[in-house]
Amino acid sequence: MPAKQRLVYLPAAQEDLIAIFDYISLDSPKRALAFVDKLDKRIELLEKHPLLGRMPRHPKLKAYGYRVLII
């Protein structure tokens, strides 16, 4: 079994996630919570499957090993 990778949310990502939650919750707090939960579960898959998703087009992001997930 492959080793589990360490997943870290950058502060900017945390702020974005909070902003997304706040925006969706204006319409439906229940949907906002469901969306953030779905997003978090999908991102957690990267711990066990770090090659999940696709490589970004931007060369600098690609060089840093970023992955793009469509959710």
Strand partners, 54: 68
Domain that holds residue 54: 11-63
| Structural domain total, the chain | 1
Q: Is residue 16 part of a domain?
A: yes
Q: What is the pLDDT of residues 4-20, one digit of tens each?
A: 778 888 899 999 999 99
In this prediction, residue 68 carries a pLDDT of 87
Burial of 42 (0-12, 13-18, 19+ CB in 10 A): middle
In this prediction, residue 9 carries a pLDDT of 85
